[in-house]
Amino acid sequence: MPGSIPLIGERFPEIEVNTTQGKLRLPDHFDGKWFVLFSHPADFTPVCTTEFVAFQLRYDEFRKLNTELIGLSIDQVFSHMKWIEWIKENIKVEGKPVEIEFPVIADDLGNVSAKLGLIHESKGTNTVRAVFIVDPKGVIRAILYYPQELGRNVDEILRMIKGFQVSDENGVAMPHNWPNNEIVNDHVIVPPAASVEEKEQRKKQEERGEMECFDWWLCHKKI
């Protein structure tokens, strides 16, 4: 439908963007990798600064998961560059300056934000705190929207990517707060049986120690 924003399960729209690291074409620039595109309301704002620092401090963890980061706001490139410079000069963690390494999209005309649904009129003309998690095939796997007054939990975004990768590799689902769930601990959820025959097989699989079940429709196992 014309003018609609992208949805989970759809391919990330093809967009050429201007960034602090030059022009990039998405999603092709990250072909074969996961990537997280996250928007922030504006440069030189307190909450956004804390988020950028958090993303950078975990950048190595993202890269270990074959995942890249790319930020976005409606500011111009020179503003992004000056803000990144300010962070390096003024923010230190454990005595070390924080140097932002990932690219940041300059969407000063608002075209990218409009296409991705990042401007919510009731919250003003700046972008909300959105997150798009995109897989190596360019498919959107998750979309998160936060209001401007609430900073994100970057560890949760890392957890989501880990969960997606385990799910894709093993055909399982993740319980609440995996891998620290209250009832199954670090186990993953086995999809419910889809037939009577498969239901009966669950009993045998449990007897062989291949999984544990509260009932045939709620089984879990260690990965």
- 142/126 Cα distance (integer angstroms): 22
Nearest alpha-carbon partner for 82 in 59, 104, 97, 56:
104
pLDDT value at position 4? 72
pLDDT value at position 74? 93
pLDDT value at position 123? 65
- Which secondary-structure segment (H or E) carries 52? helix 46-57
Catalytic residue among 48, 105, 106, 219: 48
The tens-digit pLDDT sequence of the chain (223 residues) is 334 789 999 999 999 999 999 999 999 999 999 999 999 999 999 999 999 999 999 999 999 999 999 999 999 999 999 999 999 999 999 999 999 999 999 999 889 999 999 988 776 678 889 999 999 999 999 999 998 889 999 999 999 999 999 999 999 999 999 999 999 999 999 999 999 999 999 989 999 999 999 999 999 999 9
Nearest alpha-carbon partner for 143 in 157, 129, 132:
132
pLDDT value at position 1? 35
219 is catalytic: no
Domains and CATH numbers, the chain: 15-152 (3.40.30.10), 171-223 (3.30.1020.10)
